[in-house]
Structure formats: structure tokens, C-alpha cells
Chains A and B, each alone.
Chain A
Amino acid sequence: MLKVVAFRKAIFAGAAGALAWDVAARALALSGVPVFDLVRQLGTLAFPNGSAALWWPAGVVAHLAVGAGWALFYAYFFWARLRWPPALQGLAFAALPALLAIFLMVPQLQLMHLGQDVVQVDWRSFVVALEPPILATIVLGHALFGLTVGAIYTRPVGYRVGSPPGSPYAPRRRRRMAQTTRRQADGAFMFATGIECSYPTVDSGRWRRDEMASMRHYELWQLDFELARELGVTHLRYGPPLHLTYEGPGRYRWDLIDEAMAELEALGPEPMLDLCHFGVPSWLGNFQNPDVGEALAEYATVFARRYPWVRFYTPVNEMYVCARMSALDGVWNEQLCDETAFITASFNLAAASVAMTDALLAQRPDAIFVNSESSEFYQPCCPDPAIRESADIENERRFLPLDLLYAHEVSERMLATLTGCGRVEEYRRFLAREVPRRTILGVDYYEWNEKLVDQDGRKRALGELFGWYVIASQYWQRYRRPMMHTETNRIDASDAPRWLWRQWHNVQLLRGAGVPLVGFTWYSLTDQIDWGSALVEARGAVDPVGLFDLNRDPRAVGLAYMHLIEMHRDQPEYRHCRALKELLD
């Protein structure tokens, strides 16, 4: 798949573009300008001797169909390749059909209108002497077409916040499949993948990104679960769409996910339920809202009552990333760019995670919490005190949400910041909390997680400098919780198998060093959409990071992961993972 394409929008855009061309051509013809009448040319192919009542509608229909086809071609191959305003992208694209029309289609149409079966041609046949006004109207027609298509075909993925899809999940289909049953967590090392499920808002809260919709998981959920089972993964990180299922206080749409949850319960893989993934329902606003925690705790309570068999939960995914992107980098949800807003978002997210954890424990006292967080590290480029301080601030800031969740003291500098924000009392309450025993610190790692603070103070991705082993060790030293590698992937699909094995060797090394590591995850099952722009631009660009592509055909890394799982799952040290067994008991 090249792009995620909004078919209806593209077809409408193409038909509208063709119509705009026809209207302009009629207007010019009526005012006495000689024009290239494409509708007549097409219509009289079907009805060479017919009246206008016959050829005109046939010509219009043919032209609209051709327009729709070209617009689909534009949507797949051209849209969003240029960083230009959409209408200008369409205009630039229109040069292709215009050139084909002038040098190929118009001469061929003339051949097709001849009343004989065979003609003799030479190279001059391709250079039809078109009169300048005719040539000009061909160019003008294509320009109008391109401008119209470009202006209409924008944002092929996501939807207006006020217009969510009604019932996106496809009904369950009876399929003939190998009969399996869900393998209960039994203390074996967890080999996991996940369904990418981010749903932040962008464009000042007006546009909802919905990765599961873009990846067609709502349509293909049954196949996705089947593929995960086929690979041999034991656990699936799965985040039902909070923004669709939680319609308001006391109002839930469990019907959307009941069938998917029933299939996971019956057949597996064992799900790790991710209840809040980078967004909240629109009625809750954003992460500056102090009521988010209470509302999500209510959601967690009702969720656990409805699906009492679920044992693994991620109450809030990657709190640091969510707070940073929403309140410091200004790209998601509240889209703010200041330290106080970041602190507020971090506290609200941590409070939500704590409240949800307590709510879930009240329903399921043996629930296991996988607190997935992005591992980060900032390296100063040089001994410049300002640069080093900048890196130090970032290296302290990355821990804030986890410090709150795991009742760990923050640095002196961070404490001063919290004091300045009037958050010290609240911070002390977090510190006084007893962290549940059954918690797993999930540490995610991507090639951009290590950053260099350069001489201008900018943060640049370093690639894999120290690697997951070193960065995850820092998190282990700080929190001393059982750990899991909860996300990794590689944007370069050809390098993904190598990356997978290298990450795995990091896991093995850390386990060998005595760290209680209970699982590994390739994230995600399928390719993802628009992470190249952190979901900010709704372009529909496919990131080939999945174990399967969006056609659900396996990628090389999918095969490599299957190989890895088969090779290790029955080895004694993975078959019996003592650290996980202690959590399960």
C-alpha cells in the first residue's frame, strides 16, 4: 500500500474537477471562444452518429469517470509529496494528464474517430498541430481540474471531532480456522506485539486521528487477531478506542468492542488492555483538565466489570510522550508549549493512571499493570555549561510522570519547578502512595529515543548510540521494578529483521545481568500511518514498521519474529520466567 486513500473523497474530487472543466468549456464556447470539446469527443465515440441527447450524457459520464480515475491516481501517488498548499499540489499534478492529453490522447482520439480500420502513421502522427486556442483550453481545463481536485482532496485519514464513525467495528464473521483456545498467562516469558491505537486530536482539537481506523483494524480485527496467533505471540497490546466507547459519564458503547473482546477471551492472544492512548473523548477536553483522572477511573471500573477475565492492563500509555507532545511540543490535544502546562499534563496523566489502577484493583485484585513508557536519553554535545544543563533538564524531565506513578523522589531542580507551579502538596501525596506489587515497568525504545543536544540547544536524534541495554538500565536503577521491552520497530523495513535481533540481544544481556525482564514486544502487528509527522499531518503516509503490511501480508521482520519466538519460547529460562511467575502468584 502506498498511501491510505479516502476513496469517496477522491472520486468526488475527480468528478468535481471534471465538472469544473466542463462548465468552463461550455462558458467559453458560449462566448465564442473555440474550445477542445472533450465531452463531445468522448460521447461521439459511443454514439458517432447520435444526437446530442445521446452523446452529451455519455460524454459527461465518461469524463467524470476519467476524472475520478485520475483523482484516485493523484491520491495514491502524488498527494502530499510536495509541501505545497493542496490546490497547488493538484495543479502541479495536472501537468501529467495535460501532457498525456496533448501528445497521446488527442491524436489517438482523432484516430479512433476515423471511419476505417487501419491507417498508416509515422512519427509526425504524435505531433498534432493544435490551434493555439484549442491547446490553451486543454491546458486550462486540466489546470481547473487539478486545482479542484487538490482543493477538495485533503486529509484522507482521521475525522472531524464532532463526526466520529458510528459503528466502525465490522461484525464478527464465522471463519474456518484452526481451533485454539486462549493460552492463559502461565509464567512463561511474554512475546508480544500490539495493535497501534493512538487517537490524539490535532488542528486545535478539531481533527481526530484514529490509527485503528486508518490501519483498517476496525474492519479486519478478526484477521489481525488470527495473524497474531499465527506468529506465535503470547500477548497482544490492545487499546479499544476510548474516544468512541466512552460517550460521557455513565454512557458507554461496549457494543463496539464486545465481539473483539469475546474473540480475544476465547482464542487469544492474551491482551494487555491499553485504556488511554494519547487522547481522551472530546467531552473531556484534554490533559489540562483535572477531571480526567476521575472520569477515566469510572471508565476503568466499568471496563473491568464488563470484561472481568482481563488481567493485564496499561492504564495510561507513555505518559511522558503524551504530556510532552500535548503540552510542551504543542502538537496534540491541548497543543500548548510551556513548562507549566507540561507539569499539569504530567500530573493529570499520573493521577489518571493511579486512579485507574486503584479502580481496576478494586474489581480485580490480582490485576497486573504494564506501565509502558518511552525510554529517553539526552546527550550534551560539548562541555558548554548551558548545553549540559539543557541535557540535564531533559534527562530529569523524562522521569517525572513515572516518578509520580512509582512514588519516586524527583531531582532537586524538578522539585523547585514543582514548587514554582504550586504542585508540591500533590507531589507529596504521590510520594506517600504504596505502589501495587504487580506492576511491570514497560520501556519502549526506538532509534530516535537517544538525542544529542547540539551547540544551538536543539535536540537531534542520535540513532542507537548507547542502545536499549544502557537506557533501560537507567530506568531499572531508578525504579527497581520488573521490566518489559514494550515497544520497538524500525522505519526502514529492510533493516527491521536486524533491528529485531539486536533489540532481542539487548533483552538477553539485561536479563543476564540479573534484571527481572518478563517480556519483549515488536510494535506493531501492522504498518502504521503518519508517524513520520507524529500524526500532526493527516497525509495517510504508510510507515512500513509492522510485522505485516496493511494488506496483512507478512514483512521480513514478521518472519524473523516468528523464528525468534519459536527458537526461544521452549528454552527453560523463557518457559519459566521466575519474575513473571512471582507477579502472577
Chain B
Amino acid sequence: MLDINNNHLIITYGASDPITTIAGYIASGHNTGNWNGPGIISSAALTNPSGLLYGIGYADGNDHVVTGLTSGQIEVAYTLLGDANLDGLVNGSDFNILAANFNQSITGWDQGDFNYDGLVNASDFNELAANFNQGVSGAASAGDIAALDAFAAANGLSLPTSSVPEPASTFLFGVLALGGLLQVRRSRRLGRA
């Protein structure tokens, strides 16, 4: 096992893009959330500091999602679930990536597949929503929250509440707003599959 703990690594490859292999290492190491399988693991991801959900994100420079990551490079990083662009934040930018690929068989963390199952679906949305606005030093914008809410409503998604962290003072407003939104969402859940 390669345990990246809370670090990151860069693979600068040649003609052949090894992203499938790397994704396989991570999925194998993830081992349905136990992070103890052969491959790439993160012991730090098991601890969920501050109640947040962490994992190993990865991105291929060819996807042009991560700022500064060029074609021919792969980045693997310990980060928040939902942080599609590996900037350490879970915000509207990440949500937009997920939304664009939602319900598609698109693989890749940087495409919104945060649980390594080869799909971008409600499970990934839930992980993103649970960490939404984390890592951000400020309140989530009203627009981001509205977009998230609308997306959930449009897709019949149940916004998670149990994983919503205790708000830090610096972005208290945003999280409270999201929490309120979640409550509203529960009350008017459409129940669509």
C-alpha cells in the first residue's frame, strides 16, 4: 500500500495516460471506505477531522479541471469529498462539475465521481453536499446554495443533514443557510427516484 496520508503526489507521464491505473489503485485502496486495500490509501481520510469527510481526489491534466495541472500530469491528493478540482474547497465550482456530469457513466474524481464507483450520481452529490462550503473562508453564496437546492429538487435528491458539520465562525452564515435549506428541502421532498 502507498499511504499518502494527508499529502499529494504528481505523476508526469509520457505517451500513455495511466489515469485508469491510478484510479484503480485508489479505488482498490478505498475498499468501500475502509482505506485498507492494496493500492493507494490515505490513513488521514479515516479520521475525518472536524467531522468532515475526506478521501483521495485525483485529476488528469487532460481534463483541464485543476488549475496548474497540465496535460500529461495526474495529481492525487488527500482532500475533502466533493472537491472535484482539488483546490481544497467544496463550493459552487465543484458542484457545477458534478451537475454537468450527473447521472452519467463518467469516471474520474475530477468529473464528480467521489466514491470511485464509476458513476456520477446521488451518492456523489450527497458527499459533495455534506461538505459543501467547507474549506471556504466565508459564507457560501446565495447563488451557490440556490443552485444546489434547485439541483436537488430537480433530481429528487435528499440533501444530507447528518454529515453537515458544525459551522465554523468564519462561515457560520453560509452553513446555517445551507442547513436551513436542507430542512426546507426535507419538508418538501418530492420523493422521485
Do the two chains bind?
no
Give me the interface of B with A, judged by CB distance under 8 Å.
Answer: none
